[in-house]
Amino acid sequence: MAPASDRAADLALLIDQAREAGEIARLHHRTDVATWEKPEGAGPVTAADIAIDRMLKRTLLAARPDHGWLSEEIEDDPARLDHDRVFIVDPIDGTRAFMRGDDSFCHALAIAEAGEVTVAVAYFPIRDQMYWAVKGGGAFLDGTPLHVSARAEIDGAVALSGQKQMHPSSWPGGPPPVSREFRNSLVYRHCLVASGRFDLAFTLRAAWEWDVAAGALIAGEAGAVVTTATGADWRYNAAHPRMPGVVIGPAPLHADIMTRLRPVA
């Protein structure tokens, strides 16, 4: 693993480039930005997503030419599998929120080394809020340490999850007794759990690595347990970088959810 001094430099790089991404996003926010649907029902994309992704790839790989690259809007290159360290980037996490003119979208940037995320940032440009974490060094929002909720009982917990995730077919004993809210950005859901504003979050839908990597380190460093919906840890920079759902929360709540959840194939 890279020494602490290298991780500090990596963090500074990601923060700087996330802010540059924010400049592009602000230019397009609440404008008539070009928008289209991706093939095979993969969701919407905007010209801002593409511009940010291309800018980040150019600048980050110029700074770290020995790293691989994995991002949402650039075609996957299997050559990344030959790299021990790889950038994992979502240029705009929460594209639907961005298209609506909301401020709850972010730029999610992470570095994974030997399958583990070591440095991550999530920048919300309209709010000018920077979440960040370094493995073993805690998680922060604009320099303020983050800590997950102290709740230990699932009854009455407040969860971030989509309505479809509560379908009884996924919960043999019935859906968990939680209050539910939703946010488009999966990274934002990680950050909200990390800050203790929500008790837990889960999605039983498959999730791409770029939707999870940055938020997973931020939540994990704030004290959350973060696993796939199978209860397993995930090794990043996988050949097929899509994980079977995500469950995020303090250890007691995470354990309770996993005992209630029907095993995910």
β-bridge partners, 110: 88, 120
Residues 140 and 113 in one domain: yes
- Count of domains forming the chain: 2
Residue 151 lies in a domain: no
Specify the pLDDT at position 38.
84
Annotated binding site for Mg(2+): 72, 90, 92-93, 211
Residues 184 and 136 in one domain: no
From 96, 115, 145, the end of a domain falls on: 145
Integer Cα distance of 196 and 51 in angstroms: 33
Specify the pLDDT at position 42.
72
Q: What is the CATH number of the domain that holds 247?
A: 3.40.190.80
Q: What is the mean pLDDT of each run of 10 residues along the chain (265 residues)?
A: 82 98 97 87 88 98 98 95 97 95 97 98 98 98 97 95 92 93 95 98 96 98 97 97 97 96 74
256 half-sphere exposure, CB direction, 13 A CA radius: 20
Residues 12 and 104 in one domain: yes
Residue 236 lies in a domain: yes
Annotated binding site: 72, 90, 92-93, 211
Residues 123 and 240 in one domain: no
Tokens of 6: 């290298």
Phi–psi pair at 7, nearest 5 degrees = -65, -35
Residues 8 and 125 in one domain: yes
Strand order across the 246-249 sheet: 179-181, 158-160, 200-203, 246-249, 225-228
**CA angle 161-162-165, nearest 5°?**
90
Integer Cα distance of 64 and 11 in angstroms: 13
Residues 90 and 122 in one domain: yes
Residue 152 lies in a domain: no
Residue 30 three-state SS: coil
Residues 168 and 212 in one domain: yes
Range of the domain at 193: 158-261
Residues 51 and 181 in one domain: no
Q: What is the CATH number of the domain that holds 62?
A: 3.30.540.10
Residue 125 lies in a domain: yes
Residues 16 and 117 in one domain: yes
Specify the pLDDT at position 264.
66
Residue 153 lies in a domain: no
Find out whether 222 and 216 touch, Cβ atoms under 8 Å. Answer: no
Residue 8 lies in a domain: yes
Residues 78 and 208 in one domain: no
Integer Cα distance of 112 and 27 in angstroms: 30
Integer Cα distance of 115 and 236 in angstroms: 4
Residue 114 lies in a domain: yes
Residue carrying structure tokens 């347990």: 225
Specify the pLDDT at position 265.
57
Find out whether 245 and 258 touch, Cβ atoms under 8 Å. Answer: no
Residues 29 and 115 in one domain: yes
Residues 16 and 112 in one domain: yes
**Any idea what DSSP says for residue 32?**
-
Angle between helices 186-194 and 213-221 (to 10 degrees): 10
